[in-house]
A and B are shown apart, each in its own frame.
Chain A
């Protein structure tokens, strides 16, 4: 069933080819990559040397929000572009904290660019279109279906060098991003506090597939290609 959204008016929408954005896609990346991306804002953020997704539950706990603040602060200090999904809860906290710290952030939507979900993020989405970047795989007119959001999360995993899950329940849509990052062999971090929740089984399961327990922001910085040459210049 489609969801009723708030509306925004993007200034200028640019259509992008994901293969060009990523400098070519391998066979694994092609499997879930969208055919097109629609973007509004600063396109240079898609070529930033370090892009990290910070994602999590829509029903964020207060400690979860505090953890986002510390995490985002540490990443922004190192020039990392913060990517999230503009959903309620952890995603919103990640975007807002980045802006508060003077950092750069990309929102990857589960709606077309002229719609806002949740409606309460209309001002934030409009702000990111002016001073950050908003990206979606859904063309204007595409209905907002529940299935959009896990697809959006897979796209976010594709666009980022690493993903961090701050908190998420057993059935959270965020988990689709974790599994996609693992499938692409991209670094996936799960906050240590999530492992301490004995009601959750997914963190330990993801760990057996390569997810790392995040205790220090330096673990993320270590796996980012900061200071390394672009992939185009790596042949020897």
Chain B
């Protein structure tokens, strides 16, 4: 398994927050999971966020992830997906490509065994990187690449991302693997002061846990 992964994220939300802005961010995350239309006129939350990212990209913070125009690899959901059902990470990756961010979507990772959802599990019983690693498989769909970028909806500690990156690295040994999560959780923060907060950080394996910084 990889011991370190570079990630970028665009938005933040505080699950415990109660301010007006925190509630807006929470509702956005709910909409993202269910692809419920937001705003007036109603629009896809994935498409809306991708457009906002495209507008904010000028400041360059996330260019490290996207400058090589990588293929975007959606991260599998924690549970299996019903046929014809919603796969939030796939929708986000597709919306990014629609904004010219990333070359195309490469759905080469698959969850073969469900794991408990991080959002619903108590901290100590959340699945660990190894649990995710053992429940995800990768299929080599194209020739090896210079860079591949994993895409996920919500980043908690990073256990899923580092496990998915490890599987992807096995299928594409010469590629540099990076990751993008649209939203990252701020678990210990009471409230947020903004929703848009692009950042580049790292996920590191320490013992059997993933540690995200920032």
A184-222 CB mask vs B (1 if < 8 Å, else 0) is 111000000000000000000001111010000001000
Q: Considering the chains assembled together, what is the distance between the CA atoms of A227 and B37 in angstroms?
A: 18
Interface stretch, picked from A3-11, A21-29, A74-82, is A21-29
In chain A, positions 219-236 with a C-beta closer than 8 Å to chain B are 219, 223, 225, 227-229, 231-236
Determine the chain B residues whose CB is within 8 A of the CB of A231 once the complex forms.
27, 31, 36-39, 42
Contact: A185 with B85, CB < 8 Å?
yes
Closest chain B residue, CB of each to CB of A27: B35
Looking at the assembled complex, report how far the CB atom of B55 sits from the nearest CB atom of chain A, in whole angstroms: 12
Number of A-B contacts defined by CB within 8 Å: 95
Q: A23 to B34, alpha carbons, bound, how many Å?
A: 14
**B40 touches A (CB below 8 Å):** yes
CB-CB under 8 A for A229 and B27, given A25-B37, A26-B35, A185-B86: yes
Kindly identify which residue among B37, B52, B113, B114 contacts A236, using a CB–CB cutoff of 8 Å.
Answer: B52
Q: How far is the CA of A24 from the CA of B23 in the complex (A)?
A: 21
Q: What A residues does B34 contact at CB under 8 A?
A: 184-186
> Are the C-beta atoms of A232 and B38 separated by less than 8 Å?
yes
CB-based closest 6 A-B pairs: A24-B42, A210-B79, A235-B39, A24-B37, A185-B86, A228-B27
Report the bound CA distance from A185 to B86 in whole Å.
6
Q: Are A26 and B81 in contact (CB under 8 A)?
A: no
Whose C-beta in chain A lies nearest to the C-beta of B44? A26
Task: List 30 A-B residue pairs with CB atoms under 8 Å apart, sorted by A's residue number.
Answer: A23-B42, A24-B41, A27-B35, A28-B35, A28-B84, A179-B82, A183-B86, A185-B34, A185-B35, A185-B88, A207-B114, A209-B82, A209-B114, A210-B80, A212-B120, A227-B18, A227-B23, A229-B23, A229-B27, A231-B42, A232-B38, A232-B40, A234-B24, A234-B27, A234-B38, A234-B39, A235-B48, A236-B25, A236-B28, A236-B195
